[in-house]
Amino acid sequence: MIASAPFRLLLALGFTLALGACSTLTGFSHTNASGYTQLQHQQCVPYARDVSGIPIRGDAWTWWGQAAGRYARGNHPASGAVLVLAKTQRLTHGHLAVVTGVLSPRDILVTHTNWGDNPFNRRIVYTAMRAQDVSPANDWTSVRFWNDEKSVFGFQYAAYGFIYNPRGTPITY
């Protein structure tokens, strides 16, 4: 049986409100990186560039090499730093996230976009998603992100480390 359009609209509205009522540590908004609309998938690179003030361009995984000699890099999280994930089979262009808070040496909050396994999630700008260092050497070379839908940390991702925001450059998100 096909439901009427008003019924489908009410069902969708109820589902949206139910999701909005969920308690979460993962903040999100629909703020868009420069030049993007909500109808487009935003890319992590222009978003990280806008938020961090670090004007590097190119695929996310290339930021690590491009930052060498231009910006301080390391394996300790700091607010405003850009976490650079490596190019892998799962992340064919790598990924970038900007640190918004350090909860402990192995647990941080990040803001990023174009993250998730479906078109809706990829449109969300996450403003306070937890990320956790799971590397054996405690050096942020292996990272997991909180999956709010499943209430668990997700897959492990290879990471290069952090590119530090130049002193005095504010982060905005």
Q: Give the chain's domains with CATH numbers.
A: 24-163 (3.90.1720.10)
The radius of gyration of the chain's CA atoms, rounded to the nearest angstrom, is 17
Give the three-state DSSP class for 144: strand
108-128: burial string, b at 16+ Cβ within 10 Å, e else: bbbbbbbbbeeeebbbbbbbb
**CA atoms of 117 and 64, how far apart (whole Å):** 25
Q: What is the pLDDT of residues 10-38, one digit of tens each?
A: 444 444 433 333 333 445 444 544 444 45
Q: What is the pLDDT of residues 82-101, one digit of tens each?
A: 999 999 999 999 999 999 99
Percent of the chain with pLDDT strictly greater than 90: 58
Q: What is the pLDDT of residues 99-125, one digit of tens each?
A: 999 999 999 999 999 988 887 778 788
